[in-house]
């Protein structure tokens, strides 16, 4: 069951990322790295930030335990859904009314003319936020029923929608293309929502809403304590789960002060960085969280430790191999994926440097996710939030220090260093003694030898790869 859950998540994420890769390949080829691609990435950044925060743990890790312990699950779930949708609807309306103001906040380095052009794109993309929250809410209910496939595969629908918009708008002016892409984001969100509704109906979870509505209408249940319990864990969990995402968002914000194309270099490099992070670290953490939480709830600490240890070594091998491969072959990866059409060799060189700096932080960011599950399972969301705050503070300070000498690559490096801070503080809270027990294993020798041979093989074939791309 452990490996099957991980495989389901990983294969679903891989499917989505393959379509995402095609999407990015077409975007780079058709738009390149210029002011219009920068505008779209900024417009999509904020709703995408919320998507990653929700979908990669914050909502699920707070809602699922509260939902499981609720005396009236239907009423509790419906209350949460209604409250969030109202808040997000108001927020979306404000963004649409004051689109220029919000665009200036997230892209202060843009000129007034560019901000004015980007503002409508920000407003359109922001509708995705409501849709993706609804999707995440339904996905959490499906996870409660141990159904992971729909959520894992449905992100591909967003990528397919954007791919369709790029193919339809190919050859049109760049300004028109980014509008097609923005509307495609909304269409993709609708498709994801429909897919989850179908799964909810198939598993009979739609009855939950009917029961919940009847309970709320009769006002038979007092949900105040249950709702307070959820909110007291949700808000700290947002910060605790979102260090990597907020770091990327800070990178984009600061990159608006750099030369044209810098946002795109960060975006393309971060997309490659996110592939192993999502495929391995996120897939594993999503799969094992319910089990770790259950073991700790039942005071079965030994089984929880065993689960963490298995996950640690699995990720240690996968992420280490990915890190070395990504750093050694950064130029080759960017060339193979993006260098065509409007994306030039100069763009490749800058993006490859950024990718190398991002890959430095892959291992600590990925492993931190595993140990953070321990904190969330013990309801230590506030501790996790404090750790993330320190890591973000380090990221901001180093970003300001590195941005002048290293440009966009400096922002990526600052993010990676903050990942090491996040990892160290999370492990310290988990328990250094327990961590040393985990790494005191002969697998450590195998890992070092594996990486040694990987480096040799990569450098032997590097020239061969260069000759054929």
Query: Mind listing the pLDDT tens digit for each residue in 293-307?
Result: 888 878 899 999 999
pLDDT at 230: 87
Q: Model pTM?
A: 0.77
Percent residues over pLDDT 90 in the chain: 53
- Cβ burial of 432 (10 Å; 0-12, 13-18, 19+) is exposed
CA distance 333 to 339: 10
pLDDT at 242: 66
CA distance 366 to 316: 9
Token representation of residue 74: 């239907």
> Above 60 in pLDDT, residue 1?
no
100, 118 Cβ separation under 8 angstroms: no
pLDDT in tens, 361-415: 999 999 999 999 898 888 788 898 899 889 999 999 999 999 999 999 999 999 9
In terms of average pLDDT, the best of 7-21, 51-65, 418-432 is: 418-432
Of residues 31 and 125, more confidently modeled: 125
Mean pLDDT estimate for the chain: 88
Residue-range domain boundaries for the chain: 1-241, 242-469
Least confidently predicted of 109-113, 145-149, 189-193 = 145-149
pLDDT at 296: 87
pLDDT band at 237 (very low <50, low <70, confident <90, very high): confident
What number is the average pLDDT over the span 320-328?
Answer: 97
pLDDT at 423: 97
CA distance 57 to 62: 8
- Cβ burial of 289 (10 Å; 0-12, 13-18, 19+) is buried
> Above 70 in pLDDT, residue 52?
no
What number is the average pLDDT over the span 64-90?
Answer: 88
What number is the average pLDDT over the span 233-262?
Answer: 79
CA distance 249 to 252: 5
> Above 70 in pLDDT, residue 212?
yes
pLDDT in tens, 56-75: 567 877 787 788 778 888 89
Least confidently predicted of 272-281, 289-298, 354-363 = 289-298
CA distance 111 to 272: 29
What number is the average pLDDT over the span 235-254?
Answer: 74
> Above 90 in pLDDT, residue 15?
no
171, 32 Cβ separation under 8 angstroms: no
Of residues 55 and 413, more confidently modeled: 413
189, 47 Cβ separation under 8 angstroms: no
Nearest to 193 by CA among 273, 271, 85: 85
CA distance 100 to 125: 14
């Amino acid at each position: 069951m452990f490996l099957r859950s991980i495989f389901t998540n990983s294969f679903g994420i891989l499917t989505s990322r393959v379509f995402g890769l095609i999407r990015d390949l077409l975007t780079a080829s058709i738009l390149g790295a210029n002011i219009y691609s920068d505008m779209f990435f900024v417009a999509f950044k904020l709703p995408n930030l919320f998507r990653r925060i929700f979908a990669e743990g914050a909502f699920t890790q707070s809602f699922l335990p509260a939902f499981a312990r609720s005396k009236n699950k239907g009423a509790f779930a419906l209350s949460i859904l209604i409250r969030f949708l109202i808040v997000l609807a108001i927020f979306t309306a404000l963004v649409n009314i004051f689109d220029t103001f919000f665009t200036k906040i997230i892209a202060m380095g843009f000129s007034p003319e560019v901000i004015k052009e980007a503002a409508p794109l920000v407003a359109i993309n922001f509708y995705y936020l409501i849709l993706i929250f609804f999707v995440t809410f339904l996905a959490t209910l499906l996870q409660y029923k141990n159904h992971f496939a729909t959520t894992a595969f449905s992100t591909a629908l967003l990528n397919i929608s954007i791919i369709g918009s790029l193919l339809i708008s190919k050859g049109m002016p760049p300004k028109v293309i980014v509008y097609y892409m923005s509307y495609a984001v909304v269409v993709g969100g609708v498709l994801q929502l429909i897919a989850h509704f179908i799964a909810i109906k198939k598993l009979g979870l739609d009855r939950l809403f009917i029961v919940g509505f009847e309970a709320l209408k009769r006002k038979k249940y007092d949900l105040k304590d249950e709702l307070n319990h959820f909110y007291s864990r949700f808000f700290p969990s947002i910060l605790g789960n979102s260090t990597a995402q907020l770091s990327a968002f800070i990178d984009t914000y600061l990159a608006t002060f750099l030369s044209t194309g810098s946002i795109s270099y960060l975006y393309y490099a971060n997309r490659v960085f996110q592939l192993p992070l999502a495929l391995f670290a996120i897939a594993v953490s999503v799969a094992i969280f319910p089990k770790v939480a259950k073991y700790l709830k039942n005071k079965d600490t030994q089984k929880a430790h065993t689960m963490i240890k298995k996950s640690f070594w699995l990720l240690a091998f996968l992420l280490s191999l990915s890190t070395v491969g990504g750093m050694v072959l950064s130029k080759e990866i960017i060339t193979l994926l993006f260098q065509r059409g409007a994306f030039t060799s100069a763009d490749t060189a800058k993006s490859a440097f950024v990718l190398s700096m991002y890959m430095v932080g892959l291992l600590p960011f990925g492993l931190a996710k595993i140990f953070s599950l321990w904190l969330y399972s013990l309801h230590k969301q506030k501790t996790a939030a404090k750790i993330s705050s320190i890591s973000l503070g380090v990221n901001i300070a180093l970003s300001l220090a590195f941005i002048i000498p290293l440009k966009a690559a400096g922002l990526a490096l600052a993010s990676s260093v903050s990942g090491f801070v996040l990892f160290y503080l999370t492990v310290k809270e988990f328990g250094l003694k327990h961590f040393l027990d985990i790494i005191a294993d002969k697998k450590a020798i195998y890992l070092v030898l594996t990486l040694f041979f990987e480096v040799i093989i990569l450098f032997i074939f590097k020239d061969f790869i260069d000759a054929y791309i």
